[in-house]
Amino acid sequence: MSPVSHDADDPLAWAREYTPILRSYQEEYGETKPLSGYTVAFASHLETKSGVAIETLREAGAEVLFAPSEPQSTHGDVVDALDAREGITAFAWEGMTDDEFDAAQHELLEEEPDFILDDGCELIAKVHAEHPDVAAQVIGGGEQTTAGITRLEAMEEEGILQFPVYGVNDTPMKHFFDNVHGTGESSLTNIAITTNSIVSGKDVVVCGYGYCGRGIARKARGMGGQTIVTEVDPRKALQAHMDGHRVMDMAEASEVGDLFISATGNREVMREEHFEKMQDGAILANSGHFDVEIDLEALEAAAESTSTPKEGVTQYHMPDGRRLNLLAEGRLVNLTGPFSQGHPAEVMDTTFAMMFVAAYDMLVDGPDLEPGLYNIPDRLDRAVAERKLETLGVSIDDMTESQQAYTEEWEHPDSSF
Ligand SMILES: NC(=O)c1ccc[n+]([C@@H]2O[C@H](COP(=O)([O-])OP(=O)(O)OC[C@H]3O[C@@H](n4cnc5c(N)ncnc54)[C@H](O)[C@@H]3O)[C@@H](O)[C@H]2O)c1
């Protein structure tokens, strides 16, 4: 692979170095441009790694239109550098309001993309709800988050999906790494940087023991935190218990936690009845969905006043003298805090590689798919895993012929019957 550029003015240079799978696609498709003639819409948190994904789509020949998936996480230097390139158009800027974010997504959709790569399903939902003529022409899409998949399942159930969508989130190469390791490490890193406070020795309450919660809890314990998990699914709760975390309901956890991190995809996981019990100095962070996991209205209503003791920390002063510290205004702490840079680049390399192959497969290989939500074919998942191992210089074994046969036959010569 060719060496990466070290142009000091190129905001993507550092991320490019840690995204070798995306660079390998740029190299492989830079000449043949298999996506030429297609317009790909791309919504994501806009920072350096998604910037490399956008340039990879462009390098493979696509016209790329991009917008944020969350208005507060945009890095302006990345947007400006990409927008200056021919064939890439930004519908984004740093510091957008929620209304401007909505308007920009609509403007993007009016450009009639052929394919939509989404993060949270906002673009796909908007094209169906408000641009039906555009939706009717879209060839397909890909969705990278758990919350987005939930919305797509609801759309499929209602029978309103107009095109096929690959559920990129549900592929092992995405959620085993991005959700577990990416969210785990980047949430704790950003909490530590924002608060300048130690995790070790703290009672860390992780709400939700799905892929993200599991990663956060495992890594918090690795840092010396005393982990507590809350759940609504008895099997996940049992899994957390068997993994060695304390499991309790939120009412009990509220009384003992020093640091609360929510990763459920659900709303109002921390709410009034919990704020009433939390200890003075408790830290509240959301790593799950938008800004809905902590009931911000209830927190505001319960407090007498607020202050900002540190950038990225809003302190709520309760009438009884307790102070609750909310990070990143209740938005995703790993993506929207003042020091946050999102997931580590190596992890996003894999996620965006899956998004890239989703677009490539539907646009270039053209499987005959009816509108609906589809799992990414296993061959694509394996191919990205193999490419990742190659970039890491890691080799694995091939099954011998006899081993292969053993996995395919039901009559085993060495069985006793
Ligand atoms: N911060 C990030 O960068 C990032 C990255 C990936 C995913 N996410 C988001 O994180 C959220 C979780 O993703 P995941 O992949 O772990 O999903 P998941 O479905 O694997 O896990 C969610 C878990 O939360 C539990 N849960 C639901 N409601 C709850 C409640 N009220 N209290 C306690 N537990 C509850 C569910 O039972 C489930 O086990 C989603 O919104 C996803 O989009 C964030």
Give the tens place of pLDDT for each residue, 276-332: 999 999 999 999 988 999 999 999 999 999 999 999 999 999 999 999 999 999 999
Mean pLDDT computed over 384-397: 96
**All domains of the chain, ordered by start, with CATH?**
13-170+344-392 (3.40.50.1480), 181-336 (3.40.50.720)
The whole-number pLDDT of residue 221 equals 98
- 360 annotated ligand binder: no
341 close to ligand 1 (CB < 6 Angstrom):
no
pLDDT band of 417, cuts 50, 70, 90: low
pLDDT: which is higher, 243 or 73: 243
pLDDT grade for 411, boundaries at 50, 70 and 90? confident
State in Å: Cα 212 to ligand 1 middle: 6
Give the mean model confidence (pLDDT) for residues 93-103.
95
413 token code pair: 């010569």
What is the share, in percent, of the chain residues with pLDDT greater than 70?
98
Nearest CA to ligand 1 atom 39: 210
pLDDT at 6: 55
pLDDT at 220 over 80: yes
How far apart, in whole angstroms, are the C-alpha atoms of residue 169 and residue 381? Answer: 11
Any idea of the CA torsion for 296, 301, 305, 310, to the nearest 10 degrees?
-10
Q: How many A from CA of 257 to the centre of ligand 1?
A: 19
Please tell me if the CB atom of residue 145 comes closer than 6 angstroms to any atom of ligand 1: yes
pLDDT confidence of 8, banded at 50, 70, 90?
A: low
Report the alpha-carbon distance of residue 210 to residue 376 in Å, rounded. Answer: 20
* Residue nearest atom 17 of ligand 1, based on CA coordinates: 210
Whole-number pLDDT of residue 342: 86
Distance 124 CA to ligand 1 centre (A): 21
Query: SS in 3 state form for the chain?
Result: CCCCCCCCCCCCHHHHHCCHHHHHHHHHHCCCCCCCCCEEEEEECCCHHHHHHHHHHHHCCCEEEEEECCHHHCCHHHHHHHHCCCCEEECCCCCCCHHHHHHHHHHHHCCCCCEEEECCCHHHHHHHHHCHHHHHHCCEEEECCHHHHHHHHHHHHHCCCCCEEEEHHHCHHHHHHHHHHHHHHHHHHHHHHHHCCCCCCCEEEEECCCHHHHHHHHHHHHCCCEEEEECCCHHHHHHHHHCCCEECCHHHHHHHCCEEEECCCCCCCECHHHHCCCCCCCEEEECCCCCCCECHHHHHHHCCEEEEEECCEEEEECCCCCEEEEEHHHCEHHHHCCCCCCCCHHHHHHHHHHHHHHHHHHHHHCCCCCCEEECCCHHHHHHHHHHHHHHHCCCCCCCCHHHHHHHHCCCCCCCCC
Chain segment 42-60, per-residue pLDDT in tens: 999 999 999 999 999 999 9
What is the predicted pLDDT for the residue at 385? 96
pLDDT at 338 over 90: no
Tokens of 219: 């890594």
Asked if pLDDT for residue 238 goes beyond 60, the answer is: yes
**Does 416 have pLDDT greater than 90?**
no
pLDDT at residue 4 above 60? no
Q: What pLDDT was estimated at residue 341? A: 84
Q: Is 16 annotated as a binding residue?
A: no
The model's pTM is 0.86
Q: Which of 150, 174, 183 to mutate to test the pocket of ligand 1 (most atoms within 8 A of CB)?
A: 183
The torsion angle over the Cα atoms of residues 55, 59, 63 and 65, rounded to 10 degrees, is -10
Q: What is the pLDDT of residue 73?
A: 85
User: pLDDT class for 337, splitting at 50, 70, 90?
Assistant: confident
10 Å Cβ neighbour count for 123?
27
| Residue 213 counted as an annotated binding residue | yes
pLDDT at 229 over 60: yes
Average pLDDT (235-252) is 98
The mean pLDDT value for 335-342 works out to 84
pLDDT at position 413 over 90: no
Compute the mean pLDDT over every residue in the chain, rounded to the nearest whole number. Answer: 95
To test ligand 1's pocket by mutation, which of 50, 73, 121, 146 has the most ligand atoms within 8 angstroms of CB?
A: 146
Which amino acid would we find at residue 268? E
